[in-house]
Amino acid sequence: MSKLWAERLTAIGMIVVALFFLTQSVGMPESSGTFPKFTEFVIMLLAVVMIVRSFMTHDKRFEGNVHFDFSYIAMKPFYVMIVACLYGYAVFEVGFYVSSIVFYFLVTYMTGIRAYKVMGAVAVVLFLLLYLFFTIALDAELPEGFLL
């Protein structure tokens, strides 16, 4: 597939997703529905600009075909997004603090950080500050699962 067709298909996909989210924001009250509607219209406008540009460009960067790489390094952002979605689910099932600690160490390991002492020190400071700020200072009710 050529790079120009890849850009066009990406833009069409952006329009479809924006239309879906636009339909989801139709029933919202005006005060809370204005921003999502505005954002989706801007996304659709930019996608149309991408499509028009793909027909008018003579840029050398768009010559040739798209090369797909399915190695771990190339797919790492996708894997991190999957873990982030699982984290969002785990926050309510397992609990905020436990799932956050597991998520922190898993994502830092997945991204290639291997300074274990630094990771541990950052985790201690980060989660201590999270606890002090949300639980003590704000008295926020964070999701509690079966662990915490």
DSSP line for 14-39:
HHHHHHHHHHHTTTS-HHHHHHHHHH
Distance CA 47, CA 53 (A): 10
What is the reported pLDDT for 11? 96
Distance CA 95, CA 143 (A): 6
Distance CA 131, CA 148 (A): 12
What is the reported pLDDT for 106? 95
Distance CA 88, CA 99 (A): 9
CA distances 47 to 36, 61, 65, Å, are 16, 19, 21
What is the reported pLDDT for 88? 92
What is the reported pLDDT for 148? 57
Q: What is the pTM of this model?
A: 0.63
Burial class (CB in 10 A: 0-12, 13-18, 19+), 90: buried
What is the reported pLDDT for 60? 77
What is the reported pLDDT for 118? 93
What is the reported pLDDT for 68? 83
What is the reported pLDDT for 46? 97
What is the reported pLDDT for 27? 81
Low-confidence ranges of the chain (pLDDT < 50): none
